[in-house]
């Protein structure tokens, strides 16, 4: 399996040159491309002669702003998981949106129709805009929701809560009344802490 | 000629055939669907965001609540992702137990799907039959984990505990006399494996019963044949997986193509459809139940002969036994650190997928070295399937929409997450 992934990596690097940055970790191949090349490379991957990645399995947004090892650099990324049914291979494709204040990435909805809802979800949760999508509405959050809840600066308890107001006899929104708390603190230990592996 | 009016209609979120909280905005031309626009998210709980604020182990029970009819398969993908990041080996017996319970879960899921699908289309009886068998399997869930549905039985590094030697018994009560109770307890006198063995002996005959009720049933065929046809090319482009992809004639099954745990040692077949319509998907799922039954039998045989540990002995990941924890300072520290701080997963990212009853259920986990995930993305199979609702229902009658929702095997716990 690993040799097949290595040969796929070599083939992709040979085809796209320095447009892609390929890494293999944990038996999975990841290629990083710039936002400009993202759509063209997606199309080339789908129509590849030997290993056509005809299935888009997953597409999601990632907010790297508080990541301990990547806090420098661009904030929003789109991660796509592709699968080739013909060649039985998987591939991860990552691209960073160029502008943190206004993240825009090309839509791959025309390459894989499956991307439609995944891109709507990433827009909803992270505020990443997909240029050329055509129907970029919110998907999971409430009608009229304000903000993008999966961004790292969005509190886990949200900004508003909903309740029935007996005076006005309707459902109203009000600022949240619960205070955020952290039961188990987030701890990052030194490298190889505990030395887990093949136990 | 009568004037034909176009309607925009709300289907759900309170419709009994909407399988939960689906709001479907249908644009109709007479009775023919022109456009279907599913509005989802009414059950959105932000599981992925919640997981970022919990330790790795604390999120295992959240996984049960994603697809709440195939609980252990969800846990399986999540535990596999953690094990992959940790580079951790799972004991062989735990792998067999996981495979066995994955298949039990598959039968549970397909039974509920079959019952609900038939009920939507108008056949009441199958639902009652299916729940009779689900009861036995949920008893098996309860025997290993203590919970009938939300088991939290799979843990990173193995499973929570070994299979029990006894099954819980029915007690005499004012509704049932001692004779009736004795009959009910007959197959519960041995271990859990005996109970499951007895179930697998009976189950093929039950599947025959469902098939007698449905497979050649004229009404059933009128409602399903040629409804929601998906060509193999479109199925791939739309991101279909599992029975939805196999129904379209593509022999793709992660258990065979990218085997995990001990599936490569199991003997089973992958059923595929030919036309890609709802009836083919029905036949595929029925055959999958029979194949799952075969796999469970193989696991039972192996588990009877091979006792052993069921969870990793690496106490940075899995808790030590109670006796060791009480008598040994080091194990006490392990126990304390594990339950206060949790597992530390090395920095990295991975994608782990299982062949869930509904399709490919994947977990994309990203760690930055902390005791909590940095980002967790749940790839739910139903999400991609429901996204194709518009394409599948276009041009069909409004009553076929119900059949198409049924054939997709929609569960909102996983779609809305």
Give me the CATH number covering residue A132: 3.30.460.80
* Residue keyed to tokens 């939960």: B20
Tell if the CB–CB gap between B87 and A194 is shorter than 8 Å. no
Tell if the CB–CB gap between A26 and B350 is shorter than 8 Å. yes
Contact B121, B406 (CB under 8 A): yes
Shared domain for B249 and B337, answered yes or no, is no
Identify the pLDDT of residue B4. 66
Identify the pLDDT of residue B281. 92
pLDDT bin (cut points 50, 70, 90) of residue B98 is: very high
Question: Domain span at residue A87?
Answer: 1-141
Chain B closest-CA separation from residue A174 CA (Å): 19
Comparing CA positions, the residue from B239, B165, B398 lying closest to residue A53 is B239
Which three-class secondary structure state does DSSP give residue B38? strand
Identify the pLDDT of residue B171. 84
Nearest CA in chain B to A124: B41
Range name among A42-46, A166-170, B11-15, B380-384 with the lowest pLDDT average: B11-15
Nearest CA in chain B to A91: B351
Count the neighbouring beta carbons within 10 Å of the beta carbon of residue A183: 8
A161 inside domain: no
B331 inside domain: yes
Phi, psi of A39 (to 5 degrees): -70, -45
Which chain A residues are within 8 Å of B80, Cβ to Cβ?
Answer: none
Tell if the CB–CB gap between B239 and A56 is shorter than 8 Å. yes
| Cβ-nearest to B239 among A92, A114, A192 | A114
Tell if the CB–CB gap between B369 and A67 is shorter than 8 Å. no
Percent of chain B residues past pLDDT 70, beyond the cut? 99
Comparing CA positions, the residue from B50, B116, B33, B20 lying closest to residue B378 is B50
For chain B, say whether A65 makes contact (Cβ under 8 Å): no
| Cβ-nearest to B46 among A58, A63, A149 | A149
Shared domain for B269 and B229, answered yes or no, is yes
Identify the pLDDT of residue B299. 92
Report d(CA B39, CA B228) in Å as an integer: 20
How many domains does one find in chain B?
2
Tell if the CB–CB gap between A193 and B344 is shorter than 8 Å. yes
Contact B104, B112 (CB under 8 A): no
| Cβ-nearest to B387 among A114, A141, A186 | A114
Which chain B residues are within 8 Å of A189, Cβ to Cβ?
Answer: 344, 369
Interface predicted TM-score of the whole assembly (ipTM), two decimals? 0.88
Which chain B residues are within 8 Å of A32, Cβ to Cβ?
Answer: none
Shared domain for B145 and B257, answered yes or no, is yes
Chain A closest-CA separation from residue B106 CA (Å): 21
Beta bridge partners of A81: A58, A92
Identify the pLDDT of residue A199. 42
Shared domain for B328 and B288, answered yes or no, is no
Token couple for A36: 């400009």
| Cβ-nearest to B250 among A85, A90, A139 | A85
Token couple for B406: 């049924």
State the CATH number of the domain containing residue B248.
1.10.645.10
Per-residue pLDDT tens digits for B264-313: 998 999 999 998 899 999 999 999 999 999 999 999 999 999 898 999 88
Identify the pLDDT of residue A1. 52
Beta bridge partners of B353: B362
Which chain B residues are within 8 Å of A52, Cβ to Cβ?
Answer: none
Is B173 a residue whose pLDDT tops 90? no
Report d(CA B197, CA B40) in Å as an integer: 41
B387 inside domain: yes
Which residues in chain A come in under a pLDDT of 50?
198-199
Q: Of residues A188 and B391, which shows the higher confidence score?
A: B391
Token couple for B76: 């399986």
Per-residue pLDDT tens digits for B179-216: 888 888 888 888 899 999 999 999 999 999 999 988 98
Quick one: average pLDDT of B47-65? 91
Identify the pLDDT of residue B2. 64
Tell if the CB–CB gap between A54 and B379 is shorter than 8 Å. no
A84 inside domain: yes
How many domains does one find in chain A?
1
Which chain B residues are within 8 Å of A70, Cβ to Cβ?
Answer: 368
State the count of interchain CB pairs (< 8 A) between A and B: 145
Shared domain for B62 and B78, answered yes or no, is yes
| Four-point Cα dihedral B95, B96, B102, B107, nearest 10 | 180
Question: Domain span at residue B324?
Answer: 318-342
Helix (H) and strand (E) counts in chain B: 18, 8
């Amino acid at each position: 399996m690993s040799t097949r992934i290595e040969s796929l990596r070599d083939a992709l690097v040979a085809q796209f040159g320095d447009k892609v940055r390929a890494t293999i970790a944990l038996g999975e191949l990841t290629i990083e491309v710039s936002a400009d090349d993202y759509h063209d490379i997606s199309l080339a991957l789908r129509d590849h002669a030997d290993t056509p990645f005809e299935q888009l399995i997953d597409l999601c947004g990632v907010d790297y702003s508080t990541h301990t090892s990547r806090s420098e650099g661009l904030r929003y990324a789109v991660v796509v998981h592709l699968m080739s049914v013909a060649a039985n291979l998987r591939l991860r494709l990552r691209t960073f949106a160029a502008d943190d204040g206004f993240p825009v990435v090309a839509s791959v909805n025309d390459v894989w129709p499956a991307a439609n809802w995944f891109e709507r979800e990433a827009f909803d949760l992270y505020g990443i805009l997909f240029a050329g999508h055509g129907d970029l509405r919110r998907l999971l959050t409430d009608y009229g929701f304000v903000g993008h809840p999966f961004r790292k600066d969005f509190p886990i308890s949200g900004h508003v809560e909903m309740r029935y107001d007996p005076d006005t006899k309707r459902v109203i929104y009000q600022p949240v009344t619960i205070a955020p708390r952290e039961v188990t603190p987030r701890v990052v230990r030194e490298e190889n802490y505990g030395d887990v592996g093949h136990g | 000629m009568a004037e034909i009016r176009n309607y925009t209609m709300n289907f759900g979120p309170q419709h009994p055939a909407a399988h939960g909280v689906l709001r479907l905005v249908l644009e109709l031309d007479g009775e023919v669907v022109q456009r279907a626009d599913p509005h989802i998210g009414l059950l959105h709980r932000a599981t992925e965001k919640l997981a970022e604020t919990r330790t790795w182990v604390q999120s295992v029970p959240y996984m049960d609540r994603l697809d709440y009819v195939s609980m252990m398969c969800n846990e399986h993908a999540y535990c596999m992702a953690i094990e992959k990041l940790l580079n951790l080996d799972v004991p062989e017996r735990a792998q067999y137990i996981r495979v066995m319970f994955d298949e039990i879960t598959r039968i549970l899921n397909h039974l509920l799907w079959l019952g609900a699908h038939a009920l939507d289309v108008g056949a009441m009886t199958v639902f009652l039959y299916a729940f009779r068998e689900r009861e036995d399997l949920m008893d098996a869930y309860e025997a290993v984990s203590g919970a009938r549905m939300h088991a939290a039985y799979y843990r990173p590094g193995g499973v929570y505990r070994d299979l029990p030697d006894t099954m819980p018994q029915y007690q005499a009560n004012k509704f049932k006399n001692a004779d009736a109770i004795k009959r009910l307890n007959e197959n519960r006198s041995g271990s859990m494996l005996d109970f499951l063995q007895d179930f697998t002996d009976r189950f093929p005959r039950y599947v025959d019963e469902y098939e007698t009720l449905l497979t050649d049933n004229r009404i059933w065929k009128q409602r399903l044949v040629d409804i929601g046809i998906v060509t193999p090319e479109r199925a791939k482009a739309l991101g279909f997986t599992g029975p939805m992809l196999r129904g379209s004639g593509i022999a793709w099954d992660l258990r065979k193509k990218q085997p995990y745990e001990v599936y490569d040692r199991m003997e089973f077949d992958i059923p595929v459809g030919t036309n890609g319509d709802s009836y083919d998907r029905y036949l595929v799922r029925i055959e999958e139940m029979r194949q799952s039954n075969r796999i469970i039998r193989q696991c039972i045989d192996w588990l009877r002969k091979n006792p052993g540990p069921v969870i990793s002995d690496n106490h940075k990941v899995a808790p030590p036994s109670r006796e060791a924890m009480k008598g040994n300072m080091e194990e006490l520290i392990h126990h304390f650190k594990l339950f206060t701080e949790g597992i530390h997963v090395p920095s990295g990212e991975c994608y782990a997928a299982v062949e869930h009853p509904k399709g490919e259920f994947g977990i994309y986990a990203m760690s930055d070295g902390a005791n909590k995930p940095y980002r967790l993305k749940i790839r739910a199979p139903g999400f991609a399937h429901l996204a194709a609702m518009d394409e599948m229902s276009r041009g069909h009658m409004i009553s076929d929409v119900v059949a198409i929702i049924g054939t997709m095997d929609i569960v909102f716990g996983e779609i809305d997450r």
